[in-house]
Amino acid sequence: MDLLAFERKLDSTIMRKRLDIQEALKRPMKQKRKLRIFISNTFYPAKEATENEEGSVASWELRVEGRLLEDTKNDPNKVKRKFSSFFKSLVIELDKDLYGPDNHLVEWHRTPTTQETDGFQ
């Protein structure tokens, strides 16, 4: 009788460990890492009109770039993830008074056909 009880206990332990392993494989291991984000802007001043050329309006460009900081000791052949792979969407809110109620939001949303990128412009 003791052997049967021991066998049942052993079977239940093996089954529980098997389920634990299956659950662990379903969800990826979480690792804390730093995501470095670079935000920069470039201003293009207006050009005055000349006799041969038209003038241009002043403009600016906002650039958001980023990369995951990783240990260089790890596998150097490892493929690095692109910046956009960390987000489902990105929303930049500009001053509503300057850009109006319709143009103050710049949005990016991932689609199934979106190519991964290291920055947004």
Q: What confidence tens digit (pLDDT) does each residue in 97-121 have?
A: 988 888 888 888 888 888 888 888 8
Largest interatomic CA distance in the chain = 106
Question: Would the pLDDT of 31 be above 80?
Answer: no
Tokens at 95, concatenated: 């001053």
The two beta strands, 105-109 and 59-69, are unpaired
Say whether 69 sits in a helix, a strand or coil: strand
- Phi, psi for residue 105 in degrees, rounded to 5: -115, 130
Q: Supply the DSSP symbol for 48.
A: P
Q: What is the mean pLDDT of residues 75-79?
A: 69
| Of residues 4 and 50, more confidently modeled | 4
Q: What tens digit of pLDDT does each residue of 36-73 get? A: 999 999 998 888 877 777 778 888 899 999 888 876 56
pLDDT at 7: 92
